[in-house]
């Protein structure tokens, strides 16, 4: 049995007549790192606000460690919160900022200094404790906000796009830092982002949101390799979608016949029957390219013509026109290059494709 430390049961949120979260079920284990990933307006922040107690729940229940949270006031929920622009108090030193949640909780003075130092050391900012927030870079301020959210050892830490304002390099550094803190402290973290790379990097599980509903909640590997539906396939990473009809089902293996009559084999979600319309999701990096004369057995193949090659530094994106439509392949920089107009054969292994319902 899974440890259901945190549960959302049929949680719904309406703003007036507009439903922004609908009948949402989600269970999170103690110590888990779960990202909420989805397009703008899909309800991620709203869910976090209900969890923190800043917004009421219209229907359904949120439970934490067996306790129903719906009517528990925010300050009693014992959650650390970091928001994208959750400003530090500008007139207080870094140390005072971090001490604040402890002072609010009536922690003895003698203990406060030790814990503030430990929290700041944890984010490698112990040496800046006497500075004012205005004297820190954006990334340093964000790390102070992180220290402030952790200093009172909350049961749960909620982060809403905490790295959104940082440049790429610092964001990637902070992703690794937060991941490391999560492992070291065994924190339960709910992390909102609309950056899929960030979600893939950091999470134990990713809950993919669309229009107030979770489309899929699974490990990064699972949502990327075996997306539950078209929305997830297109939202996470890049993919080619080839439409066809199911012409055979054997265990988890599906045969898909394309409009031009060619047949491709790939793994697929359960539940397909012969005759169903279906889509093959094929990631660009799972495609290999060959010359038209190469012998290829035991692989799925498609013929096409190279329409364009885009140089991307560490790899090439190759646009190929096939009878099944335009397909993008992503090949290593060292692979053979094909002039525009050349005929190529695309191949992929059945385990590298994934068949989903249209």
Ligand X SMILES: Nc1ncnc2c1ncn2[C@@H]1O[C@H](COP(=O)(O)OP(=O)(O)OP(=O)(O)O)[C@@H](O)[C@H]1O
The answer to whether 354 and 227 are in contact (CB under 8 A) is: yes
Q: Which residue lies nearer to Mg ion by CB, 161 or 352?
A: 161
Q: Is 133 helix (H, G, I), strand (E, B) or coil?
A: helix
The 3-class secondary structure across 295-356, one letter per residue, is CCCCCEEEEEEEEEEEECCCEEEEEEEECCEEEEEEEECCCCCCCCCCEEEEEECHHHEEEE
Q: Segment contacting ligand X (CB under 6 A): 36-44, 112-120, 176-184, 269-277?
A: 36-44
| Distance of closest approach, residue 58 Cβ to ligand X, in angstroms | 12
Taking the C-alpha atoms of residue 52 and residue 68, their distance in angstroms, rounded to an integer, is: 13
List the one residue out of 340, 317, 319 whose CA is nearest residue 330.
Answer: 317
The single residue among 19, 155, 194, 303 that binds ligand X, judged by CB under 6 A, is 194
Closest residue to Mg ion, based on beta-carbon distance: 45
Q: Is 37 helix (H, G, I), strand (E, B) or coil?
A: strand
The single residue among 28, 34, 46, 150 that binds ligand X, judged by CB under 6 A, is 46
Q: Which residue lies nearer to ligand X by CB, 50 or 329?
A: 50
Q: Which residue lies nearer to ligand X by CB, 2 or 40?
A: 40
The single residue among 35, 42, 45, 216 that binds Mg ion, judged by CB under 5 A, is 45
Taking the C-alpha atoms of residue 24 and residue 232, their distance in angstroms, rounded to an integer, is: 17
Contacts of ligand X in 133-192 (CB under 6 A) = none
Reported as half-sphere exposure (CB side, CA atoms, 13 A), residue 303 has a value of 9
* Contacted entry of Mg ion, ligand X, none for residue 194, CB cut-off 5 to 8 Å set by kind: ligand X
Q: Does 44 bind ligand X (CB under 6 A)?
A: yes
* Contacted entry of Mg ion, ligand X, none for residue 46, CB cut-off 5 to 8 Å set by kind: ligand X
Residues interacting with ligand X, by CB under 6 A? 15, 20, 38, 40-46, 194
Residues interacting with Mg ion, by CB under 5 A? 45
């Amino acid at each position: 049995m899974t440890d259901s430390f945190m549960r959302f049961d049929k949680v719904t949120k309406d703003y007036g007549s507009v439903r922004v979260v609908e009948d949402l079920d989600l269970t999170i284990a103690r110590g888990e790192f779960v990202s909420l990933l989805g397009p703008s307006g899909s309800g991620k922040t709203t869910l976090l606000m209900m969890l923190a107690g800043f917004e009421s729940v219209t229907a359904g229940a949120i439970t934490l460690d067996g306790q129903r949270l719906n009517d528990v006031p925010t300050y009693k929920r014992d959650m650390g919160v970091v928001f994208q622009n959750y400003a530090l108090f500008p007139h207080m030193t870094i140390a005072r900022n971090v001490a604040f949640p402890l002072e609010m909780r009536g922690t003895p003075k003698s203990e406060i200094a030790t814990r503030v130092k430990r929290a700041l050391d944890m984010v490698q900012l112990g040496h800046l404790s006497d500075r004012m927030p205005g004297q820190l870079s954006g990334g340093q301020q964000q790390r102070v906000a992180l220290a402030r959210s952790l200093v009172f050892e909350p049961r749960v830490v909620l982060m809403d796009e905490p790295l959104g304002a940082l440049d790429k390099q610092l964001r990637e550094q902070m992703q690794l830092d937060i991941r490391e803190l999560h492992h070291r402290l065994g924190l339960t973290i709910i992390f909102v982002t609309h950056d899929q790379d960030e979600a893939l990097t950091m999470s134990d599980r990713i809950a993919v949101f669309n229009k107030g509903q979770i489309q899929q909640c699974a490990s990064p590997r699972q949502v990327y390799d075996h997306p539950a539906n078209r929305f997830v396939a297109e939202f996470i990473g890049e993919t080619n979608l080839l439409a066809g009809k199911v012409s055979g089902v054997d265990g988890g293996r599906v045969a898909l016949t394309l409009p031009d009559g060619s047949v491709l084999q790939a793994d697929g979600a359960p539940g397909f029957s012969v005759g169903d319309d279906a889509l093959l999701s094929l990631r660009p990096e799972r495609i290999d390219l060959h010359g038209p004369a190469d012998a290829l057995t035991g692989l799925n193949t498609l013929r096409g013509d190279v329409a364009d090659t885009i140089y991307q530094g560490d790899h090439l994106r190759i646009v190929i026109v096939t009878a099944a439509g335009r397909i993008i392949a992503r090949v290593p920089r060292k692979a053979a290059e094909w002039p525009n107009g050349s005929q190529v054969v695309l191949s992929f292994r059945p385990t590298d494709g994934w068949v989903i319902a249209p």
